Amino acid sequence: MHMADALLSPAVGGVMMAAGAASVVYSAVKIKKDELGEKKLPVMAVAGAFVFAAQMINFTIPATGSSGHIGGGILLASMLGGFPALLTMAAVLIIQSLFFADGGLLALGCNIFNIGVIPCLLAYPLIYKPIMKKCFSYRRIMIASVISVVAGLQLGAFAVVLQTLASGVTELPFGTFLVMMQPIHLAIGVVEGIITAAVLSFVYRMRPEILESSVSGVPVKKTASVKGVVTALIIATVVVGGALSWFASANPDGLEWAVFKTAGTAELEAEGGIYDAAAVAQQKTAFMPDYDYASAGEDGSSTGTGVAGIIGGTMTFALAGIVGFLISKAKRKRAAGA
């Protein structure tokens, strides 16, 4: 559900860029000094890499001609907590936009808000945590995951419709676009919820303290080892990003499908200095546009997608890890000074 620049006016894009930046700063401020301890920092880095890779896997939505991919907000929040999850998701989206031309630069704020803020700071604390606070079980993980993912994705899809409405995109009338967006993202949300529950159930089986600490706000005990979970997620990232990404569905994702059904074309065009400047800037930074070699041409390459998955996952691992480390260090230094 990554928005392209053509779906937004410069004014709406600018406002949402400010909102996205504010939400990231707010999350960094609100993180507690023990929330990113030595046990959660490696989980933050590798979970971000895994979500980057997983977002490359589009799964077909039967009988629609559409496809979807996981957003990963609830998955991250369940393992890290809402605020660290938003920072991790922002790292994923920034790397996707700058280096792989997935989502527009002007639309980056919207994408951070729709894919990050809504699931991490709304759906997770308001839906997932209340369900899981009563007790942990595989059944509750499934229920909480599906409901919170569906709710977050429905709100995110609705936010996209509102953002295009505020932008005055006449090719996407509010009523028609809404009717196209909500049902397809309901189907995508159910699939993502099940995938999220499966991953979280695996993590819970290996190291339940990771999920329990996010809900309770209590740090993972120093005696608990997270090496098994971290190793498993690294292996999953390599397999998903480096191999399974080759078999992703070629069908348009839910947003592209809804735009096509509403406007008759999957890609709208926008002209103007800001759009041109954003496109030029992205062309300069995106060394593997559309997750392939820049020189691959229209037919694509046989190895580009896998290489992009590995490189992107590694970059996300580094960025999320560095951000988490710096924030944790600053919090501890301030606490020591106080």
| DSSP string of 35-58, one letter each residue | TT-TTHHHHHHHHHHHHHHHTT--
Label residue 271 by pLDDT band (50, 70, 90).
confident
Q: Which domain holds residue 230?
A: 5-329
Q: What is the DSSP letter of 4?
A: P
Q: What is the DSSP letter of 126?
A: I
Contacts with 49 (C-beta within 8 Å, 6 or more apart), sequence order: 233, 234, 237, 241, 313, 314, 316, 317, 320
Task: Confirm whether 35 is domain-assigned.
Answer: yes
Q: How high is the pLDDT of residue 320?
A: 97
Domain at 321, CATH number = 1.10.1760.20
- At residue 172, φ and ψ (nearest 5 deg) are -120, 80
Closest CA to 123 of 142, 139, 89, 147: 147
Could you tell me if 71 and 3 are in contact, meaning their C-beta atoms sit under 8 angstroms apart? no
Q: How high is the pLDDT of residue 338?
A: 66
* 3 state DSSP class of 70: coil
Q: How many CA atoms lie within 13 A of 69 on its CB side?
A: 25
Q: How high is the pLDDT of residue 11?
A: 97
Task: Confirm whether 276 is domain-assigned.
Answer: yes
Q: Write out pLDDT tens, residues 211-250.
A: 999 998 888 888 889 999 999 999 999 999 999 988 899 9
Q: Sign of the C-alpha dihedral, residues 93, 95, 101, 105?
A: positive
Which value, to the nearest 10 degrees, does the dihedral of the CA atoms of residues 224, 46, 33, 77 take?
-100
Task: Confirm whether 112 is domain-assigned.
Answer: yes
Q: How high is the pLDDT of residue 168?
A: 96
State the average pLDDT over residues 296-315: 90
Task: Confirm whether 72 is domain-assigned.
Answer: yes
Task: Confirm whether 94 is domain-assigned.
Answer: yes
How many domains are there within the chain? 1
Task: Confirm whether 100 is domain-assigned.
Answer: yes
Q: Looking at 145-149, 294-298, 305-309, which range is the least confident one?
A: 294-298
* 3 state DSSP class of 60: strand
State the average pLDDT over residues 36-43: 90
Q: Sign of the C-alpha dihedral, residues 250, 256, 259, 263?
A: negative
Task: Confirm whether 299 is domain-assigned.
Answer: yes
Strands (E), the chain: 59-61, 66-68
Using the predicted structure, report yes or no on whether residue 91 has a pLDDT greater than 80.
Answer: yes
Q: How high is the pLDDT of residue 176?
A: 98
Q: How high is the pLDDT of residue 226?
A: 94
Task: Confirm whether 335 is domain-assigned.
Answer: no
Q: Write out pLDDT tens, residues 110-140.
A: 999 999 999 999 999 999 999 999 889 999 9
Q: Write out pLDDT tens, residues 49-78.
A: 999 999 999 999 999 999 999 999 999 999
